[in-house]
């Protein structure tokens, strides 16, 4: 499915200056809607799009920067495993968090487009030829099979047709049917291996949630939320500063611990304070999702960044001097989400999930 999405992205924006770089961001937006795992995203997008960028004349450090920044944005595109864990920890509607992610992801992607356009014109990056209508319709038809997934999920959530759990079952069934009967490229043995890997991932998430519950109880007994509340008290009068401080903490935790453990450690401590000062739980969850996405791709130890660098065969030290403009784009996107909550809340509000 992923190759059809990449092809559609290149047809849509590849003819612009720096269009191949923009297609990385757009392909990640599409692909994340059928993946759910940031680490899986960086692996798939890095493997598929790093070689074409290198062949087109992009330097390895720029190719790695594009993959890393695009995947950092992609964590906001539902359905994401991290969003499900956040919903459990903060006792917030997972459907509401899912719906809230689409527009913030698009806003962050536009910020990255601006950075890519500037870099492309500064460095003279190549562009694809303008596609014909025939090429466009061919790419569009091929992408319809995978694009059904995010469309069905969004429509189902928006109109209240199914829950997040039912959506997962529906998408899994759809993927199995298309793999066997449309693509015909998955064997029974490969499917059993996929089921085994899914079971291991699910078990890991459940263990994290169990640890989170115990950890939250112990922190409450020790009075840690009250202590942190006192430390952050000067910021409580200005909710956006409070959110920014928490986002920076989450980035640091996410850089050294990976996303899910970072959520387990930090969010139970700060979430009660966020609720007390009037921050909407869905807005809080989306801001923290964006922050964790950035943290996973922060040098020098971000797990996702190290994976992106592996595909481009470039070192962290050599990479940073070309990466910082993309980090600026991600930070600007994060600040827009913090300062303008309605970017996050408009879809859940229209769906009647919040008032």
* pLDDT band per the 50, 70, 90 thresholds, residue 232: confident
Q: Does position 138 have pLDDT exceeding 70, yes or no?
A: yes
Highest mean pLDDT among 79-93, 295-309, 319-333: 319-333
What is residue 213's predicted lDDT score, i.e. its pLDDT? Answer: 67
Q: Where are the domains of the chain?
A: 2-159+201-350
Q: Are residues 238 and 274 in contact, defined by beta-carbon separation less than 8 angstroms?
A: no
Mean pLDDT across 79-108: 87
Q: Does position 328 have pLDDT exceeding 90, yes or no?
A: yes
Q: Does position 59 have pLDDT exceeding 70, yes or no?
A: yes
What is residue 257's predicted lDDT score, i.e. its pLDDT? Answer: 64
Q: Are residues 314 and 335 in contact, defined by beta-carbon separation less than 8 angstroms?
A: no
CA distance 217 to 78: 29
* pLDDT band per the 50, 70, 90 thresholds, residue 306: confident
Mean pLDDT across 152-156: 77
Q: Does position 80 have pLDDT exceeding 90, yes or no?
A: no
* pLDDT band per the 50, 70, 90 thresholds, residue 209: low
CA distance 202 to 151: 24
Q: Does position 140 have pLDDT exceeding 80, yes or no?
A: yes
**178-182, 224-228, 280-284, 331-335: the lowest-pLDDT one:** 224-228
Measured over all CA atoms, what is the biggest interatomic distance in the chain, rounded to whole angstroms?
Answer: 65
Highest mean pLDDT among 30-44, 166-180, 211-225: 166-180
CA distance 210 to 143: 39
What is residue 244's predicted lDDT score, i.e. its pLDDT? Answer: 92
* pLDDT band per the 50, 70, 90 thresholds, residue 337: very high
Q: Does position 34 have pLDDT exceeding 70, yes or no?
A: no
What is residue 222's predicted lDDT score, i.e. its pLDDT? Answer: 77
Considering the entire predicted model, what is its pTM? 0.80
* pLDDT band per the 50, 70, 90 thresholds, residue 220: low
Residues with Cβ within 8 Å of 103's Cβ and at least 6 positions away in sequence, in order, are: 343, 344, 346, 347
What is residue 252's predicted lDDT score, i.e. its pLDDT? Answer: 79
What is residue 36's predicted lDDT score, i.e. its pLDDT? Answer: 65
Q: Does position 187 have pLDDT exceeding 70, yes or no?
A: yes
Q: Are residues 227 and 273 in contact, defined by beta-carbon separation less than 8 angstroms?
A: no
Q: Does position 291 have pLDDT exceeding 80, yes or no?
A: yes
* pLDDT band per the 50, 70, 90 thresholds, residue 226: low
pLDDT, averaged across the chain: 82
Show the tokens assigned to 1: 């499915």
Residues with Cβ within 8 Å of 138's Cβ and at least 6 positions away in sequence, in order, are: none
Mean pLDDT across 181-208: 80
């Amino acid at each position: 499915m992923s190759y059809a999405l990449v092809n559609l992205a290149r047809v849509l924006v590849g003819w612009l200056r720096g269009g191949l770089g923009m297609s990385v961001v757009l392909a990640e937006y599409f692909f994340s809607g059928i993946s759910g795992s940031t680490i899986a995203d960086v692996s798939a997008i890095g493997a598929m799009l790093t070689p074409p960028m290198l062949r087109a004349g992009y330097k390895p450090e720029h190719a790695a920067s594009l993959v890393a920044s695009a995947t950092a944005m992609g964590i906001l595109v539902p359905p994401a495993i991290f969003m499900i864990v956040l919903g459990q920890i903060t006792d917030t509607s997972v459907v509401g968090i899912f719906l809230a992610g689409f527009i913030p992801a698009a806003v962050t992607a536009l910020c990255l487009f601006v950075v890519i356009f500037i870099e492309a014109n500064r460095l003279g990056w190549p562009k694809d030829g303008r596609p014909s209508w025939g090429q466009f319709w061919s790419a569009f038809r091929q992408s319809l099979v995978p694009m059904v997934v995010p469309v069905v999920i969004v429509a189902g959530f928006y109109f209240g047709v199914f829950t997040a759990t039912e959506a997962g079952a529906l998408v899994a069934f759809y993927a199995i049917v298309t793999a066997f009967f449309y693509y015909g490229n998955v064997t029974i043995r490969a499917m059993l291996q996929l089921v085994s890997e899914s079971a291991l991932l699910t078990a890991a998430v459940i263990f994290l949630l169990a640890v989170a519950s115990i950890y939250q109880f112990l922190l409450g007994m020790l009075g840690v939320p009250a202590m942190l509340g006192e430390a952050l008290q000067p910021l409580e009068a200005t909710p956006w500063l409070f959110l920014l401080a928490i986002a920076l903490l989450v980035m640091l935790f996410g850089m050294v611990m990976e996303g899910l453990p970072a959520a387990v450690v930090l969010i139970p401590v700060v979430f009660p304070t966020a609720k007390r000062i009037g921050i909407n739980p869905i807005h809080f969850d989306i801001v923290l999702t964006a922050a964790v996405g950035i943290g996973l791709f922060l040098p020098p130890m971000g797990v996702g960044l190290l994976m992106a660098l592996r595909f481009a065969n470039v070192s962290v030290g050599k990479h940073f001097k070309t990466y910082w403009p993309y980090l600026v784009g991600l930070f600007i996107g994060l600040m827009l989400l913090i300062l303008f909550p309605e970017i996050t809340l408009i879809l859940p509000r229209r769906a009647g999930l919040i008032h």
